[in-house]
């Protein structure tokens, strides 16, 4: 039974290592609109992340893209109002607060590149691993999925061998 426990622990470890990259998709990040600055002003996120600006000050503020991609319009002070925008494409996005730009109330959202490709690869890998590595015939999958499946199958064979030796 102890071997089975180890196999279960190992499977959990594989999933723990591979899953976070997939979960990074659809992240949510909050930026506070203070008087008169953004906190945090400069953030780096993965593609697919939704950034929500929260009015945390007494003065009216906006979050306004220099490229015209988004504009919250004026959010009154003390209103706890929010504005959200989802960043899909890698790049650097500068924005400002209309009434306080000259006071330095500006910010940048940096979206990291090509994270979606590795995230989907990891998602495939963890799905393959949790399917108990029975489908090694699927040679078309990404190498990381095959590696995860082989690791899982290897640990299974190993624990079976150890279990047999323990019984004889
Ligand atoms: Cu402002």
How far is the centre of ligand 1, averaged over its atoms, from the C-alpha of 153 (Å)?
Answer: 57
Neighbours of 109 (CB within 10 A): 22
How far is the centre of ligand 1, averaged over its atoms, from the C-alpha of 103 (Å)?
Answer: 9
Q: Residues of CATH 2.60.40.420 domain(s) within the chain?
A: 28-113
How far is the centre of ligand 1, averaged over its atoms, from the C-alpha of 63 (Å)?
Answer: 8
How far is the centre of ligand 1, averaged over its atoms, from the C-alpha of 10 (Å)?
Answer: 50
The reported pTM is 0.56
Residues near ligand 1 ion, CB 5 Å cutoff: 36, 61, 97, 100, 105
What residue ranges in 10-128 does DSSP mark as E strands?
A: 28-34, 37-39, 42-45, 49-55, 64-65, 82-87, 91-96, 106-111
How far is the centre of ligand 1, averaged over its atoms, from the C-alpha of 100 (Å)?
Answer: 4
Integer Rg of the chain from CA: 24
In this prediction, residue 2 carries a pLDDT of: 62
How far is the centre of ligand 1, averaged over its atoms, from the C-alpha of 36 (Å)?
Answer: 5
In this prediction, residue 114 carries a pLDDT of: 62
69 touches 89 (CB < 8 A): no
**Does pLDDT of 15 surpass 50?**
no
9 touches 15 (CB < 8 A): no
How far is the centre of ligand 1, averaged over its atoms, from the C-alpha of 120 (Å)?
Answer: 38
CB-based contacts of 60, cutoff 8 Å, min separation 6 = 74, 75, 76, 77, 99
How far is the centre of ligand 1, averaged over its atoms, from the C-alpha of 106 (Å)?
Answer: 9
CATH fold, domain 28-113, is Immunoglobulin-like (2.60.40)
How far is the centre of ligand 1, averaged over its atoms, from the C-alpha of 37 (Å)?
Answer: 7
How far is the centre of ligand 1, averaged over its atoms, from the C-alpha of 109 (Å)?
Answer: 17
pLDDT digits 0-9 by tens, 108-160? 999 999 644 545 444 444 444 444 444 333 444 455 554 555 555 556 555 55
- Residue 97 pLDDT grade (very low, low, confident, very high; cuts 50, 70, 90): very high
pLDDT mean over 17-32:
68
């Amino acid at each position: 039974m102890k071997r089975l426990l180890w196999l279960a622990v190992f499977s959990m470890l594989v999933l723990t290592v591979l899953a976070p990259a997939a979960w990074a998709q659809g992240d949510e990040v909050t930026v506070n609109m203070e008087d008169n600055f953004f906190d945090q002003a400069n953030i780096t996120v993965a593609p697919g992340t939704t950034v929500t600006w929260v009015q945390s000050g007494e003065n009216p503020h906006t979050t306004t893209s220099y490229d015209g991609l988004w504009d919250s319009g004026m959010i009154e002070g003390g209103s706890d109002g929010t504005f959200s925008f989802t960043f899909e494409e890698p790049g650097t996005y500068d924005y400002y607060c209309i009434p306080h730009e000259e006071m330095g109330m500006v910010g940048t959202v940096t979206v990291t590149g090509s994270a979606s490709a590795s995230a989907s690869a990891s998602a495939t890998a963890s799905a393959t691993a949790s399917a108990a590595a029975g489908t090694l015939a699927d040679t078309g999958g990404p190498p990381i999925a095959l590696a995860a499946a082989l690791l899982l199958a290897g640990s299974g064979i190993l624990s079976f061998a150890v279990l047999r030796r323990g019984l004889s």
